[in-house]
Structure formats: structure tokens, C-alpha cells
Chain A
Amino acid sequence: DTEVTQTPKHLVMGMTNKKSLKCEQHMGHRAMYWYKQKAKKPPELMFVYSYEKLSINESVPSRFSPECPNSSLLNLHLHALQPEDSALYLCASSRGETQYFGPGTRLLVL
């Protein structure tokens, strides 16, 4: 298995909702990442997990809460989001230096 999967593909949520994004890989990679990508912009790093521990938080608002329950799974819990949080959320994993990206979750906050 050489891919990173993300669910759901699309998500529409209101500003009072709580939802979660899921990312999974079975390549034995011990580093996993969340990126946010706005339209026509490059991805921006949000969080990095290394060996299931949070190693980088790029000053992301607390309404985004990451979780790494095990070495294959990475979640991003969403609560009280704003319309400006609408974006493509990308997950990636790596063992060495090459990062492998999932297809992303397209999030729309109404």
C-alpha cells in the first residue's frame, strides 16, 4: 500500500458544527502532516506529528485540533470554524525526506 487516504472528500459545515477529518497511511511512515491550501495558493503547513507526538504547530487557531491515535492515523478535529477556514486540507506522510500527499478534503464553512 503506497498511498495516503483522506476522508471525507468533501465536507460542508456550519460555524457551530463539530466535524473531523481523517487521514490514513500504511507505509510505515512515522511523520505525518496537515496542510491547508486556499484557492490558487501553495499549501501551508499546519501541524507535524513525529512518532505520534506533535512536533510542530504553526500557530494554528485552537478551533483546529489535531490528533494522532496511532502511527497510521491522523485526525483533524474542527469546531466553531469561520468561513475563511474554507480550503483544501491536505495530509501527508514521510519516512525520509519525500513527503507523500493524500488527495485532500475540500472543506466549505457556511
Chain B
Amino acid sequence: KQEVTQIPAALSVPEGENLVLNCSFTDSAIYNLQWFRQDPGKGLTSLLLIQSSQREQTSGRLNASLDKSSGRSTLYIAASQPGDSATYLCAVIYGGATNKLIFGTGTLLAVQP
């Protein structure tokens, strides 16, 4: 069964800290992996997409890495801000005719001012 797990489930850090969120997937034959952000009661915002052939992607203060062989991805957030507080979800796609996303369990991040 294809499962995606995220650790930790919740994280609280003071403003300005650098932090790492972890995502692991049981089936390493992924097509690509996406990181999303979700604010409470809202939809999802796509942050980064990493193709299976790539090792990392960067956008501003965010850096996502992918180690397909070990079934892991990390999202690094530099110089965290209170506005970064949200739930972060990773999702994998295993290819095929349509983009079926399998979501991880999520990490709830709170950045304290």
C-alpha cells in the first residue's frame, strides 16, 4: 500500500528559526512530489514541485529536497516568520494517466512571535 507519512505532526518554534519538515513514502517509484501549505479551514496552496529526477527545488525561503531511493523528502524553511504558521502537506504522484495525489499526514507549524 502506498503511504505517505510526515514527522513531526506538530511543531512550534520561535520566530527567526530555521526548521525542517520531513516526509517519507513507502513506494519509491514516484513520478513527482509536491509540498503544499494549508491555512485553517482553507484550500491548499502549492509551494514546490520536485520531479523524480530532481534532487531539490527552491523558492524564496523554502527549499525542498528529494531522496527517491530512501523514500524521503524534506522542506527547509529559513528564518521562519509568524505568517508561516499553517499545516504543511507533502503529496506524491505515482504517474499514470491522471495526477492522483496521495497526501501525507501533515505537519502543523506554529511560529511564535
Contacts and interface: CB of A to CB of B under 8 A. Distances in A.
Q: How large is the interface on B (under 10, 10 to 19, 20 to 34, 35 or more residues)?
A: 20 to 34
Interface in B25-68: 31-32, 34, 36, 41-46, 49
Interface stretch (A11-19, A64-72, A90-98): A90-98
Interface string B73-113: 00000000000000001010100011111011110000000
Contacts of A102: 43
Nearest to B46: A98
Contacts of A101: 36, 43-46
Contact of A97 (B36, B99, B103, B106): B99
Contact of A45 (B42, B101, B105): B101
A56 B98 contact: yes
Q: How large is the interface on A (under 10, 10 to 19, 20 to 34, 35 or more residues)?
A: 20 to 34
Contacts of B42: 103-104
B104 A42 contact: yes
Given A97-B32, A97-B49, A104-B43, A50 B103 contact: no
Contacts of B46: 98-101
Nearest to A42: B103
A55 B98 contact: yes
B11 to A, nearest CB: 15
A44 B105 CA distance: 11
Given A42-B89, A42-B105, A42-B106, A99 B45 contact: no
A83 B104 CA distance: 25
Interface of A: 4, 6, 31, 40, 42-45, 48, 50, 55-56, 88, 90, 92, 94, 97-104, 106
Interface of B: 31-32, 34, 36, 41-46, 49, 89, 91, 93, 97-101, 103-106
